[in-house]
Amino acid sequence: GKGKIAVIDSEFIEEVNETLTDSEALQNSPGIFEINAQQAAFLKTSARDFGMLVEDEIEVDLDLPNFLRPYQVAGVKWLYRLSEFEMGGILADDMGLGKTLQTLTFIAKKGGPALVVCPSSLVSNWADECKKWVPELKIALHVGGQRGEILEADIVITSYAILRIDSEKFQAREFDIAILDEAQQIKNPDAQISKAAHHLNAKHRFALSGTPVENSLLDFWSIMEFALPGYLGPRKLFLERFEKPLRKGGDPALARRLARKLKPVVLRRLKKEVAKDLPDRIEQVRYCDLAPKQQGIYQQLLQESRSQVEAADGGRKRMVALTALLRLRQACCDLRLLPGLKVEDKDAGVKLDNLEELLSEAISGGHRVLVFSQFVQLLQGVVPILLGNQWDYCYLDGSTKKRSDVVERFQEGDAPVFLISLKAGGVGLNLTSADTVIHLDPWWNPAVEAQATDRAHRIGQKNVVTSYKLITRGTVEEKILALQEEKKKMMEAVLDGGGALVPGLEEEELLDLLS
For residue 268, give Cα distances in angstroms to 263, 273, 358, 365, 424: 10, 10, 19, 11, 37
Q: What is the pLDDT of residues 105-117, one digit of tens each?
A: 999 988 879 999 9
Average pLDDT (369-389) is 93
Confidence of residue 384 (pLDDT cuts 50, 70, 90): very high
Q: What is the pLDDT of residue 184?
A: 87
User: Taking the alpha carbons of 42, 45, 47, 49 in that order, is the dihedral positive or negative?
Assistant: negative
Q: How many residues does the chain have?
A: 515
Rounded CA-CA distance 437/368 in Å is 9
Confidence of residue 299 (pLDDT cuts 50, 70, 90): very high
Q: What is the pLDDT of residue 498?
A: 44
Q: State the pairing for strand pair 369-373/436-439.
A: parallel
Write the CATH number of the domain with boundaries 281-289+350-505.
3.40.50.300
Question: Higher confidence at residue 179 or residue 510?
Answer: 179
Of 312, 342, 334, give the one whose Cα is nearest residue 324.
Answer: 312
Average pLDDT (343-363) is 86
Check pLDDT > 50 for residue 50: no
Q: What is the pLDDT of residue 149?
A: 81
Helix axis angle, 99-110 relative to 70-84, nearest 10°?
50
Check pLDDT > 50 for residue 289: yes
Question: Higher confidence at residue 274 or residue 207?
Answer: 207
Q: What is the pLDDT of residues 194-223, one digit of tens each?
A: 999 999 999 999 999 887 776 678 888 999
Q: What is the pLDDT of residues 4-17, one digit of tens each?
A: 554 555 555 656 56
Confidence of residue 260 (pLDDT cuts 50, 70, 90): confident
Confidence of residue 60 (pLDDT cuts 50, 70, 90): low
Confidence of residue 151 (pLDDT cuts 50, 70, 90): confident
70-277 and 281-289+350-505 agree in CATH topology? yes
Rounded CA-CA distance 105/65 in Å is 8
Average pLDDT (290-306) is 90
Q: What is the pLDDT of residues 326-343, one digit of tens each?
A: 899 999 999 999 888 887
Rounded CA-CA distance 24/36 in Å is 8
Confidence of residue 377 (pLDDT cuts 50, 70, 90): very high
Check pLDDT > 80 for residue 99: yes
Check pLDDT > 90 for residue 256: no
Contact 365, 431 (CB under 8 A): no
The domain limits of the chain are 70-277, 281-289+350-505
Rounded CA-CA distance 248/245 in Å is 5
Rounded CA-CA distance 368/394 in Å is 11
Rounded CA-CA distance 478/475 in Å is 6
Q: What is the pLDDT of residue 331?
A: 92
Of 387, 455, 472, give the one whose Cα is nearest residue 420.
Answer: 455
Confidence of residue 264 (pLDDT cuts 50, 70, 90): confident
Q: What is the pLDDT of residue 55?
A: 45
Write the CATH number of the domain with boundaries 70-277.
3.40.50.10810
Average pLDDT (62-88) is 88
Check pLDDT > 70 for residue 31: no
Question: Higher confidence at residue 3 or residue 93?
Answer: 93
